[in-house]
Amino acid sequence: MQDRWSRMSKQRQGTFLRSVVVAAVALLATQAHGSPATDPLAPAGRWEGNMGGSASTPPMGWNSWNAFRTEVDEDKVMGAARVLVDSGLAKLGYTQVNLDDGWWLKRRTGDGRLQIRTGIFPSAATGGKDGTSFKPFTDRLHAMGLKAGIYTDIGRNACSQAYDLHSPNLPQGTTAEREVGLDGHVTQDINLYFREWGFDYIKIDACGLADFVPGSELVKKQDYRAMAPLIERNSINRTDIAAVRARYEAVAAALKAARPANDYVLSICAWGMANVRTWGKEVGNLWRTSSDITPSWTSMLHNFDSAAKRPLYAGPGHWNDPDILHIGHGDFDAAHPVEVRSHFSLWAMINAPMLVSYDLRNGPASFLAVLGNADVVRLNQDKAGHQGVVTYDSDDAQIIVKTLGDGQRKAVALFNRGASPAPVTLLARHLKLSDSAPVTLRDLWSKQSVTFTGEKAFTLAPRETLVFEATGTRQLENGVYLSEIPGSINVAVDGTRQPQPDPTIHRMIDPWSNTRSGGSRPQYAGWGGAQADTTPFGQTLQVAGQAFDSGIGILADSRLQVKNDAGHAVLTASVGVDDSTENTKQPVRFHVYGDGKLLAESPPVAFGAKAHRLRADIRGVKVIELVVRGAASDGAAPVVATWGDVQLVRAAGR
């Protein structure tokens, strides 16, 4: 080295020294704040939430599946469309009319163009070189002021080709003709559906990536082309998350190209698999968070739970989807008005899509009255898009609070999950309202009002859900807690490493396999994700013995984005390592950025240290980013970090 150094020219020595200094500075900077190119925790300085598609509020309308499965036809669909218009539901927002599985005949040999089963969709028999077209069908829906949705699969074959083998409406023909899914045809099919046929919405299932297993009976008997599964329903570790995501991303890109005006909706139907509950928001407008709903109370609980604990992952343009409503059938038929109202109210509170799916032509008026409850629809369609947060949680009863608009009004649902009457006491504090000022509750079903101070006791009938709009004096008169405005938050990086199935989702007896296994196992990755008002593992937020009713719980090595649309001036928080952390050894640092610039940071804080008070001036800032760094050594558990009482306030305060 000595020799080579002395042989270098002065100029080269200078260049070399300069490059060493530059590299060292860059390394230090990366360690402190990260380099945007390579470091996922580096502030982006701009909103990174998915901007593709048009679903500023949760989609509403009708879907054919729960009503008719594959035995759908044009009369049934147009009948549903007619009821939506004639009943006034369309005016309330129920404008989406979605075909599900069963519409296709085959993929044409030669040019690969999909052919429609004209026996059940007669208006599609247009003839000519295209053979068939849905354009007359979508034209009719559009002329009625409605929107049209279609269904496909991300693989080669659809779910009915695995699970509805008795159906008269399965694709027919050779193996290749029966490959009606998107695999190998993304651009062709998306252009056909959106440019030629005029659809506005697409639901993309995923059985093609899961169920056509090489060597399986299904593949052999039905003569399908096998595909090594990318999704294994019982094993997140054996699922190729990146490959599944990449396929949906390719569709999102094709949709953007086909509809540059952004007038489309992409519904991802991967049933909570492949960690879609974490990345769905970056690719689509809604993503199923669980398996198919069945018309049983416990299936409804299961699907509700799969979305209810993910408020930070949803917001305008991107929604958790616990599946279409099962009103009209089984535990939700006309003989179960309490269950019908609960199912509907719960979906409304968590900003689920409001897609009904019974035979609207023959349903009772009582259902139309439920669907037509404009007060409850308004909660679901509130523009701010803040999903309700479970603010009291138990297996027996829950309290769910949803911020409306800018935070001045709240909706609250009291939910009895069980089969016995449940005593439920609502506190003003649950609503983040002052407990020394009156709170008025307006019941959105009975339309009665009641006023209380501090707390109010209720007894809920079995399976009953009460929904109120609440007004009172806000705890933060001059601002909001971040946990009140989940729709303004984008979880850019949540700090989870190897995805873990969520054990808190109601474990129903599986409707398909019944008890033919060792038990109903947790299935959907996302455990440990960011949470409003609890830790990522459902514990009380607490730092060195100080508990926080409000705050954000998240793992270290995470980055949250917050839109400052309301133009707040100051962010404050009490931050630290949560008392519940499994990893008690690793200190972490909290950083606050505004439009990419560092505004405030904590020193390294360790388990047991008192919460550190952070204050950042966010005047004029559009996107705030909250970063926690503290890479645990290999094999160690991530640290649980608490943004206690994190809030945005208007005027510069303390």
Q: Which tokens in the block code for residue 601?
A: 């940071």
Distance, CA of 343 to CA of 126 (rounded, Å)? 41
Cα-flanking dihedrals φ and ψ of residue 484, to 5°? -85, -15
Give 64 or 490: the residue with its C-beta nearer to ligand GLA. 64
Q: State how far the Cα of 219 lies from the Cα of 231, in Å rounded to an integer.
A: 16
* Minimum CB–partner distance for residue 269 and ligand GLA (Å): 5
Rounded to a whole number of angstroms, the minimum distance from the CB of residue 194 to ligand GLA is: 19
Q: Which is nearer to ligand GLA, 303 or 387 (CB)?
A: 303
* CB of 97 vs ligand GLA, minimal distance in Å: 15
292 is known as an active-site residue: yes
Q: How far apart are CA 171 and CA 265, in angstroms?
A: 25
The least CB distance from residue 492 to ligand GLA, in Å, is 28
153, 205, 211, 579: the catalytic one is 205
- Read off the tokens for 66: 């729960």
CA gap 198, 193 in Å, rounded: 6
**Distance, CA of 629 to CA of 32 (rounded, Å):** 9
Q: Which is nearer to ligand GLA, 160 or 550 (CB)?
A: 160
Do 381 and 60 form a contact (C-beta atoms < 8 A)? yes
Q: List contacts with ligand GLA (CB under 6 A).
A: 65, 100-101, 158-160, 205, 269, 271, 292
Exposure of 53 by Cβ count < 10 A (0-12 exposed, 13-18 middle, 19+ buried)? buried
Distance between CA atoms of residues 518 and 4, nearest Å? 69
From CA 31, how far away is CA 25, in angstroms rounded? 10
Q: How far is the CB of 286 from ligand GLA (least distance, A)?
A: 12
Catalytic residue among 292, 321, 333, 382: 292
With respect to ligand GLA, which residue has the nearer C-beta, 65 or 193?
Answer: 65
SS3 236: coil
- The number of CA neighbours under 13 Å toward the Cβ of 314 is 33
Task: Report the residue number, 159 or 255, with the smaller CB distance to ligand GLA.
Answer: 159
Sign of CA dihedral 425, 430, 435, 438: negative
**Whether 590 contacts 628, CB under 8 Å:** yes
Q: How far is the CB of 159 from ligand GLA (least distance, A)?
A: 3
Q: How far is the CB of 591 from ligand GLA (least distance, A)?
A: 41
Residue 289 to residue 276: CA distance in whole angstroms: 7
- Judged by beta carbon, residue 292 or residue 484, the one nearer ligand GLA is 292
Sign of the torsion angle spanned by Cα atoms 282, 284, 286, 292: negative
Catalytic (active site) residue 443: no
Question: Among residues 94 and 271, whose Cβ is nearest to ligand GLA?
Answer: 271
Identify residue 366 by its one-letter amino acid code. S
Residues noted as catalytic: 205, 292
